[in-house]
């Protein structure tokens, strides 16, 4: 995260963000790594936020049940655009064909 905050070279910064995006599923579930992903959600470019949210949408219910990843879910809902938030809400609510995820 400090690399992203202090790096003045755009090429190096983009390389770090690309590495983060390539490992977003693992980082989001890691006690410390999820803070890195949250930082990109909060300060990253719209397409970077979108990539993170789309990658993790199917895991959102599981992540909302864990203490250290719950804040991550909150960041997704705060910084995602309306269609991304709707995707996450749909994942949380499920469909009539599934068990009700919200009850979980």
The string of pLDDT tens digits covering residues 52-96 is 999 988 888 788 777 777 787 888 889 999 999 898 888 887 765
Q: Does position 18 have pLDDT exceeding 90, yes or no?
A: yes
Rounded Cα–Cα distance for residues 86 and 31 (Å)? 26
Tens of pLDDT, residues 86-97:
988 888 877 655
Tell me the helices (H) and strands (E) count for the chain, helix number first.
Answer: 8, 0
Cβ–Cβ < 8 Å for 88, 74: no
Extents of the domains making up the chain: 2-103
């Amino acid at each position: 995260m400090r690399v992203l905050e202090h790096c003045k070279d755009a090429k190096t910064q983009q390389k770090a963000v690309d590495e983060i995006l390539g490992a977003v599923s693992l980082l989001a579930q890691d006690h410390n790594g999820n803070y890195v992903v949250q930082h990109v959600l909060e300060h990253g470019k719209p397409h970077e936020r979108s990539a993170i949210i789309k990658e993790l949408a199917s895991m959102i219910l599981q992540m909302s049940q864990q203490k250290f990843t719950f804040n991550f879910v909150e960041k997704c809902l705060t910084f995602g655009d309306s269609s991304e938030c709707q995707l996450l809400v749909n994942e949380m609510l499920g469909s009539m064909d599934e068990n009700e995820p919200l009850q979980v």
